[in-house]
Amino acid sequence: MLIRISLIVAIVAALAAGALNVFQVRDKIDTLITQRNDFHNERDEAVTERESAKKELAKTKDDLTQTQQQLADTKSDRDKAVADAAAQVKRADELADKLTKTSQERDDAQNLLAAYKATGLSADQVGGLNKALKSTETALEAVQEENGVLQRTVNRLSTQLAELVGTNYVVMLRSDLKGRILAVDPKWNFVVLNIGGDQGVLNDGELLVSRNGRLVAKVIVRSVQKDRSIANIVPGWQLGDVIEGDEVTPAHPAS
């Protein structure tokens, strides 16, 4: 009997412990389910927020692109307006210059008309005087040209005479003489110049060769033609390569 009672007590205790475990496991299951549901809810909220952020980012990009396009259009309109304004200013300046020129021409014409009336001459007489003036100007130009030819001849003969008299004579060239190198022969050390007798070049005249304001070499004229001359590069004076286009000026300009 005592054994039966003990067994019953043991069974009841076991059932009570099992019921307690069941209740504990159920609580844990309920807690896990709650945690799982909370996790899913948080995940869904995060996904929703991410999608919303993506939409906001896409909208921001679209707004930025639209703003950039508007800015480019505005800049283009501004540049066009500036160009139009500049064109209008230029046109206004041109019109002002034309107006000034036209006014000056009108005033000159009025002055000429007044001067013509003051002479008391007829139109035929004025025409005759004009023809005579033109004829005189033509004759004067011919005399000046002949005088230039004679002067060049005198300079050439003076140079030749000085060469015959002494070896230390320096040929003086026109101070305003300027020219350029047309061709260079480095093998024989001579150059061709675009200036000649008509411009005042003389045999044995010395010229300085320069480029961008810097001395390159010195040459001495050996052959003079009408508008060309040939010169040799002076030994010891070549500071660099002589090339086409280099400028030449007198080494001994006349005062």
Percent of the chain having pLDDT more than 90? 26
Pick the range with the lowest mean pLDDT from 10-14, 70-74, 172-176, 204-208.
10-14
Arithmetic mean of pLDDT, 211-236:
94
Domain ranges for the chain: 1-117, 121-169, 179-250
Residue whose C-alpha is closest to residue 221's, from 207, 200, 237: 207
pLDDT attached to residue 144 = 63
Q: What is the pLDDT of residues 206-222, one digit of tens each?
A: 999 999 999 999 999 99
- Exposure of 42 by Cβ count < 10 A (0-12 exposed, 13-18 middle, 19+ buried)? exposed
- What share of the chain has pLDDT > 70, as a percent? 69
Say which CATH architecture domain 179-250 belongs to: Beta Barrel (2.40)
- Checking if the pLDDT of 130 tops 80, the result is no
Q: Interior CA angle at 158 toward 157 and 164, to 5°? A: 90
Distance of CA 89 to the CA centre of its chain: 23
The 10s digit of each residue's pLDDT in 23-44 is 666 666 767 777 777 777 777 7
Q: Please state the rounded mean pLDDT for residues 9-26.
A: 62
Q: Pick from 110, 146, 80: which is nearest to 88 by CA? A: 80
- Of the pLDDT bands very low, low, confident and very high (cuts 50, 70, 90), residue 254 is confident
Decide: 184 and 243 in contact? Cβ < 8 Å: yes
pTM of the complete model: 0.38
Average of per-residue pLDDT across 133-158 = 63
Kindly state the average pLDDT of the residues 114-136.
66
Q: What is the mean pLDDT of residues 236-249?
A: 94
Highest mean pLDDT out of 11-15, 19-23, 174-178: 174-178
